Homo-oligomer: A and B are copies of this chain.
Amino acid sequence: MPMTELAAASWTDVREHLDSGRTLAVLPFGALEQHGPHLPLSTDTIQAAGVAERIARHYEALLLPAVPYGETWDNGGFPGTISLAASTVTAICRDIGLSAQSSGVTTLVVMNGDYGNRAPVHAAARELSIGGFDTLVLDYPGLAEIGDTVKETAWAAPGLCHADEIETSMVLALEPRLVHPDRFVAAYPELPADFGRRPIRFDTLSPSGVFGDPRPATAAKGEAIIAYVVERSIEEIDGHLAAISA
């Protein structure tokens, strides 16, 4: 039995899916955020949706439409970046969870594609858990490991990749027509000593918006990264389902 993509399904399709006892749903949470001159503003949404879709296929799950906006105040200095307040991200995730719960979904996996969404999505999961609803939040499990394996270029900083070889490879694998190889530029901005410890706008650090080197990116690398993150996500979800049924 296939997954059911809610955007394409009718309500009767969803009812049939749930009636079969498959009550897992996957929600990709993206952002509209600058990713350098060569990647689309929807990069985080494309990536989260791509990974979520494969997970949903594996579990024959319900796939919710990707949320195309997220919290990204850090990138607010680049035109075209649209940032939601953290409280808005929490509200979106909580409302979706509440409706999913009332539809009969029993576990919601949020595949989060944007750093700024992390805390607000976890806050929503906390609220939902108080109401007895099970939510698992994933942020590309295994990305650092597979990045270390696949990447030919250095990280801009430990755990920091933005419009670099990794992200560019992932979009080349998922939406190649939206990538502009002719605009590839590397940037290794000097990060202030207090990076990550105070609010800081990224346009003051990297005028291009790039943190890393996109030049060696390929679709094949992107596919390897995605496949590994999906594999690790499935391990996480299996572990989670085992833990909550224990």
Q: Give me the interface of A with B, judged by CB distance under 8 Å.
A: 6-15, 18, 32, 34-42, 45, 64-69, 73, 76, 78-88, 91-92, 95-96, 99-100, 102-104, 119, 122-123, 125-126, 129, 134-138, 178, 180, 183, 192-194, 197-199, 209, 235-240, 242-243, 246
Is A32 a contact partner of B65 (Cβ separation < 8 A)?
Answer: yes
Is B13 a contact partner of A80 (Cβ separation < 8 A)?
Answer: yes
Is B137 a contact partner of A78 (Cβ separation < 8 A)?
Answer: no
| Copies per assembly | 6
Is A65 a contact partner of B69 (Cβ separation < 8 A)?
Answer: yes
Distance between A89 CB and nearest chain B CB, rounded to angstroms: 9
A88 to B88, CA, bound (A): 7
Partner of A119 from B73, B104, B122, B129 at Cβ < 8 Å: B122
- What chain B residues lie within 8 Å of A15 (beta carbons)? 78-80
Is A41 a contact partner of B199 (Cβ separation < 8 A)?
Answer: no
A28 to B134, CA, bound (A): 31
A236 to B100, CA, bound (A): 35
A32 to B65, CA, bound (A): 8
Is A10 a contact partner of B243 (Cβ separation < 8 A)?
Answer: no
Distance between A131 CB and nearest chain B CB, rounded to angstroms: 11
Is A67 a contact partner of B68 (Cβ separation < 8 A)?
Answer: yes
A92 to B69, CA, bound (A): 9
A-B contact pairs, 28 of them (CB 8 A): A6-B80, A7-B32, A9-B40, A9-B41, A10-B34, A10-B35, A10-B36, A10-B180, A11-B36, A11-B81, A64-B82, A67-B69, A69-B96, A76-B99, A83-B95, A84-B92, A88-B88, A92-B92, A119-B122, A119-B123, A125-B199, A134-B198, A135-B199, A137-B198, A192-B246, A193-B238, A193-B243, A194-B236
Is B64 a contact partner of A14 (Cβ separation < 8 A)?
Answer: no
